[in-house]
A and B are shown apart, each in its own frame.
Chain A
Amino acid sequence: MTRLRRAGLAPEPGPHAVAAAGSGGLRLVALNDEARALGLRPGELLGRVRARVGVPLRIHPSEPAEEFAALLRLCRWASRYTPTVAPFGPAEGCHGLYLDIDGAAHLLGGEEALLDDLSRRLAGSGIPARIALASTPGCAFALARHGRMDGILVPPGEEAGALAGLPVEALRLESGAAEGLRRLGLRTVGDVEALPRSGLGRRFGLAPLLRLDQAHGRRPEPLAPLEESEGFAAARGFIDPIGHQSDVVAAARSLMGEIAPRLERTGLGASALRLTLHRVDGLDRSFDLGLSRPERCAERIAALVRLCLERLGSGLDAGFGFETVTLAVTTAEAMPARQSTFGGSESGDRIATLADILAQRIGRKLVRLAPQGSHQPEQAEASVPWTLPALPYPDHLPARPLVLFARAEAAQDVLAMAPDGPPHRFRWRKEEHRVARAEGPERIAAEWWHRPSQPRDYYRIECEAGLRLWLYRDGPHQSDRPAAWFVHGMFP
């Protein structure tokens, strides 16, 4: 439900539910608050629910893959607390995660503080959650899912007391086994614990014993932590802190040399990198490097780092030196293998290098001009990144000015022959211009499907001084009011 809400897939108010195929047909698996208020519970048959509930219920199909992906996202987020994060497996119902905060709690000021922080952040993101902390994963799971309250903290050694009152389902048994225990009148974990182990094992197999032992900490239960994502980052620590620019560049080069094979294995190239320098006194400096095309050449990255540091000059305050240098790929893109000998454009590569240098040193991008599908002169062209292929310009157009004004400039006191004669004389930029020669009109119709406007009649004129201009009359000639004239560009 939360996933749907966060993805904006269930925007309407009212009861919503997620249904999945179960035994006997579609069964509800998740509900929102309104649906819960109607008395619905997860596990009910959808058909029966529909018959029972009078109000329309919005049903969303269950998407296990999406749900697992959402859980993984949550796990990645939770790795801010500890590196050991394990999502719930099928035994736990796949809707939760374990955090092994052994040795990590003090970073947030203790276990209570960590629990507080975790629940506050989850609530802030609108994720309903129940949290429990115990010495074993089994105990923590039992308390989080079946405990009486949220945020229970079980001190080590008191698992038995905490578990005793919980229902047998808290033991993460298969549904048949839990049912069987209940049928024998064993309703709580404490009841099961009190039984002789040998009899229990003969009757129900080893699973309940194993789960009991795991929950009580008598048998270890290793978590299967989320595997580290194939991160493209490398760090290097220095016993003697470094401060020289050339040392930093050399460190970046060797770090990129470490990352490059990993990138190459996955067929990726770095298109954005972040270099972080950790100073001895705890200050971090980060630099973002952008590349115009994916790259994994250590030399080029080193050259960019050098440029970046050069641009900074003395702004790079090394203090007592940097003890750790980290280089991380922040954006990776597919980098198809290129063959450089035949047909490869070496000049393209060199221009890419130049573009990166310009972006790094001056902070400006290289662009190229591309024709656009419009007849309006001001919209017939756009600047696009230079990496896009050059498009051919149409060659059937009449001559176009070399400089097109972003905004057409009004011409005053225009003397022109009605109805569609070229101007003879006009005033523009505070100067009187006399037209020696004129060509036109070239009528460019307005794009009425975008917004209503007048067609323009363009004239290419040459003034007596040799100035060649592109003038247009806005709209056709009308007898009741003077025409508006504009200068739109200059010819060579």
Chain B
Amino acid sequence: MRKTPERTAQETQLRIANLRALVSAGEPAPRAVLPLGLPAIEGHLPGGGLVLGPPHEIAPEEPGDGTAALAFALALVACRLAAGAGEAMIASAEGQPLPYGHGLSSLGLDPGRVLLMEAGGDGEVFRAFEAALHARCLSALVGLVGEGLPLKTSRRLQLAAEGAEPPLVLVLRPAGPGSPNGAATRWSVASAPGAIDRFGTLRAPRWRARLERCRNGRGGSWLLEWDSAAHRLRLPERVARDAVAAGRAGP
């Protein structure tokens, strides 16, 4: 008896489903991610966003871009906090700047949802991270460190983050080549001329974010604009509203 075309299609579908189940059985369950709302970037990241739990490393492109890198990290935290309840902790090693509350407020991050810890050194920051990851009470952790994320520490943090609902972990280090570590992504951020409105006043900050390294993903470079009211990152519109700025913002 001849098989009808519908039946063949059905069988094929079933087979594909079985094969998919077979393939995915060996893989770990997909991890929770922080979607950025930008398909252009999400396509480069595994899972379609910044994976929650393992640390992400953010560094300024030049030593002068420290505030831009901090702002980029806090913008990601704002995205995370906007998605639900919870609080963020910023742990700052000695000598690293602590954010100014009114500035956080201008950036769109509610200072009431941010806890601060002034640590003595990088080691204390990472130990605080580990404690916070075990305690499972915060939805984002930002560490401002003086050296960088060592390989061993990144492993420890990754282990501590295993489990349900891990927070977004961001490590900010100073500009420089950095050491090899287990960070899920490594970003390098530079400040770019801001977006201006038609009256010539600064409307929104812009940063050039370069995804230098991404586990199971591709690198890339984007000019990003932060919308502090909507708590989202945007790619600047391609309308030639400000031709001079667009020209300057290019590579």
Residues of chain A having any CB pair with chain B under 8 Å: 347, 350-351, 353-354, 357-358, 361-362, 364-371, 377, 380-381, 383, 386, 390-393, 395, 397, 399-404, 431, 436-437, 439, 460, 462, 464-468, 489-492
Cα–Cα, bound, A361→B120 (Å): 13
With contacts A369-B101, A490-B67 taken as known, whether A350 is within 8 angstroms of B117 at the C-beta atoms is no
| CB of A71 to closest CB in B, whole Å | 47
Is A362 a contact of B128 with CB atoms below 8 Å?
yes
Contacts of A403 in B (CB 8 A): 66-67, 70, 97, 99-100, 103
With contacts A402-B70, A403-B67, A492-B107 taken as known, whether A380 is within 8 angstroms of B102 at the C-beta atoms is yes
Cα–Cα, bound, A344→B155 (Å): 35
Tell me which residues from 176 to 202 in chain B have a Cβ below 8 Å from any Cβ of chain A.
190-194, 196, 200-202
Is A393 a contact of B111 with CB atoms below 8 Å?
yes
Contacts of B87 in A (CB 8 A): 347, 351
Q: Which segment, of B1-9, B16-24, B40-48, B133-141, faces chain A?
A: B133-141
Is A358 a contact of B100 with CB atoms below 8 Å?
no
Tell me the dominant secondary structure on chain A's binding face. mixed
Which single member of A371, A439, A467 contacts B191 (CB below 8 Å)?
A467
**Does B236 count as interface, using CB distance less than 8 angstroms?**
no
Is A391 a contact of B112 with CB atoms below 8 Å?
yes
Is B205 a contact of A354 with CB atoms below 8 Å?
no
Is A462 a contact of B193 with CB atoms below 8 Å?
yes
Cα–Cα, bound, A404→B105 (Å): 13
| CB of B85 to closest CB in A, whole Å | 7
Contacts of B115 in A (CB 8 A): 351, 366-368, 386
Cα–Cα, bound, A404→B64 (Å): 15
Is A397 a contact of B102 with CB atoms below 8 Å?
yes
**Does B147 count as interface, using CB distance less than 8 angstroms?**
no
Cα–Cα, bound, A383→B99 (Å): 11
Contacts of B227 in A (CB 8 A): none
Question: How many Cβ-Cβ contacts under 8 Å join chain A to chain B?
Answer: 160
Is A400 a contact of B68 with CB atoms below 8 Å?
no
Is A369 a contact of B85 with CB atoms below 8 Å?
no
Residues of chain B having any CB pair with chain A under 8 Å: 64, 66-68, 70-71, 74-75, 85-87, 89, 97, 99-107, 110-120, 124, 127-128, 131-132, 135-138, 190-194, 196, 200-202, 205-207, 226
Is B67 a contact of A466 with CB atoms below 8 Å?
no
Contacts of B68 in A (CB 8 A): 466, 492
Is A395 a contact of B100 with CB atoms below 8 Å?
no
Which single member of A366, A395, A468 contacts B89 (CB below 8 Å)?
A366
Which single member of B99, B132, B191 contacts A354 (CB below 8 Å)?
B132
Cα–Cα, bound, A350→B70 (Å): 27
Jot down 15 A-B pairs with beta carbons below 8 A, ordered by A: A354-B132, A358-B131, A364-B124, A367-B115, A368-B111, A369-B101, A371-B101, A380-B102, A381-B102, A393-B112, A397-B106, A402-B107, A462-B193, A468-B194, A491-B103
Is B112 a contact of A381 with CB atoms below 8 Å?
no
Is A358 a contact of B128 with CB atoms below 8 Å?
yes
Is B86 a contact of A366 with CB atoms below 8 Å?
no
| CB of A393 to closest CB in B, whole Å | 4
Is A354 a contact of B131 with CB atoms below 8 Å?
yes
Is A402 a contact of B99 with CB atoms below 8 Å?
yes
| CB of B93 to closest CB in A, whole Å | 11
Cα–Cα, bound, A462→B64 (Å): 13
Is A369 a contact of B190 with CB atoms below 8 Å?
no
Contacts of B106 in A (CB 8 A): 397, 399-400, 402
Is A351 a contact of B202 with CB atoms below 8 Å?
no
Top 5 A-B pairs ranked by shortest CB distance?
A390-B112, A492-B71, A350-B137, A369-B101, A400-B102
**Most chain-B Cβ atoms within 10 A of its Cβ — which of A365, A460, A462, A491?**
A491
